Protein backbone atom coordinates (compact mmCIF):
# COMPACT_ATOMS: atom_id res chain seq x y z
CA UNK A 1 0.00 0.00 0.00
CA UNK A 2 1.37 3.41 -1.01
CA UNK A 3 1.04 5.96 1.82
CA UNK A 4 0.05 9.40 0.51
CA UNK A 5 0.15 12.88 2.03
CA UNK A 6 -1.50 15.90 0.37
CA UNK A 7 -0.15 19.36 1.22
CA UNK A 8 -2.56 22.12 0.28
CA UNK A 9 -5.41 19.65 0.67
CA UNK A 10 -8.24 22.19 0.95
CA UNK A 11 -7.43 24.00 -2.29
CA UNK A 12 -8.94 23.15 -5.65
CA UNK A 13 -5.94 21.08 -6.76
CA UNK A 14 -5.55 19.45 -3.37
CA UNK A 15 -9.10 18.18 -3.20
CA UNK A 16 -8.81 16.92 -6.77
CA UNK A 17 -5.73 14.91 -5.88
CA UNK A 18 -7.45 13.66 -2.72
CA UNK A 19 -10.38 12.42 -4.82
CA UNK A 20 -8.02 10.59 -7.19
CA UNK A 21 -6.05 8.99 -4.35
CA UNK A 22 -9.26 7.79 -2.70
CA UNK A 23 -10.11 5.92 -5.90
CA UNK A 24 -6.72 4.23 -6.22
CA UNK A 25 -6.80 0.64 -4.93
CA UNK A 26 -3.14 0.67 -3.86
CA UNK A 27 -3.03 4.09 -2.18
CA UNK A 28 -3.92 5.14 1.36
CA UNK A 29 -4.20 8.76 2.51
CA UNK A 30 -2.23 9.23 5.72
CA UNK A 31 -2.46 13.00 6.18
CA UNK A 32 -4.00 16.13 4.73
CA UNK A 33 -2.14 19.37 5.37
CA UNK A 34 -3.33 22.93 4.70
CA UNK A 35 -3.33 26.49 6.03
CA UNK A 36 -7.11 26.84 5.80
CA UNK A 37 -9.75 24.79 7.64
CA UNK A 38 -7.25 23.31 10.11
CA UNK A 39 -8.94 21.06 12.65
CA UNK A 40 -11.94 20.27 10.50
CA UNK A 41 -12.40 16.97 8.73
CA UNK A 42 -11.96 17.16 4.97
CA UNK A 43 -15.58 15.96 4.67
CA UNK A 44 -16.75 19.00 6.65
CA UNK A 45 -14.96 21.24 4.14
CA UNK A 46 -16.02 19.20 1.09
CA UNK A 47 -19.29 17.42 1.96
CA UNK A 48 -19.15 15.21 -1.14
CA UNK A 49 -16.31 13.33 0.57
CA UNK A 50 -18.56 12.33 3.50
CA UNK A 51 -18.23 8.60 4.01
CA UNK A 52 -15.14 8.42 1.79
CA UNK A 53 -12.61 10.39 3.84
CA UNK A 54 -12.95 11.88 7.29
CA UNK A 55 -9.28 12.68 7.92
CA UNK A 56 -8.68 15.96 9.74
CA UNK A 57 -6.99 18.88 8.02
CA UNK A 58 -3.68 19.40 9.80
CA UNK A 59 -1.43 22.43 10.15
CA UNK A 60 2.09 21.96 8.78
CA UNK A 61 3.54 22.15 12.30
CA UNK A 62 1.21 19.47 13.70
CA UNK A 63 3.26 16.39 14.67
CA UNK A 64 0.71 14.18 12.87
CA UNK A 65 1.59 15.99 9.62
CA UNK A 66 5.10 14.55 9.92
CA UNK A 67 3.79 10.98 9.63
CA UNK A 68 5.84 9.11 7.03
CA UNK A 69 4.47 8.92 3.50
CA UNK A 70 5.75 7.30 0.34
CA UNK A 71 4.41 10.10 -1.85
CA UNK A 72 3.66 13.75 -1.09
CA UNK A 73 1.53 15.81 -3.44
CA UNK A 74 1.78 19.56 -3.14
CA UNK A 75 -0.29 21.24 -5.87
CA UNK A 76 0.51 24.85 -6.58
CA UNK A 77 -1.34 27.42 -8.65
CA UNK A 78 0.23 28.40 -11.94
CA UNK A 79 1.05 31.99 -12.74
CA UNK A 80 0.14 33.57 -16.01
CA UNK A 81 2.70 35.79 -17.66
**Span 51-65, pLDDT tens digits:** 999 999 999 999 999
Q: Which residue range(s) make up the domain with 33?
A: 2-59
Q: Is 39 part of any domain?
A: yes
Q: Is 80's pLDDT higher than 70?
A: no
Q: Is 53 part of any domain?
A: yes
Q: Is 67 part of any domain?
A: no
Q: Is 78 part of any domain?
A: no
Number of compact structural domains in the chain: 1
Q: Is 76 part of any domain?
A: no
Q: Is 50 part of any domain?
A: yes
Q: 77: pLDDT confidence band, cut at 50, 70 and 90?
A: confident
Distance CA 37, CA 34 (A): 7
Residues 6+ apart with CB under 8 A from 56: 32, 39, 40, 41, 42
Amino acid sequence: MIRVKVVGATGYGGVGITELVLQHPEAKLVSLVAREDVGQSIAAVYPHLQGFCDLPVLAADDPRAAEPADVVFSPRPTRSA
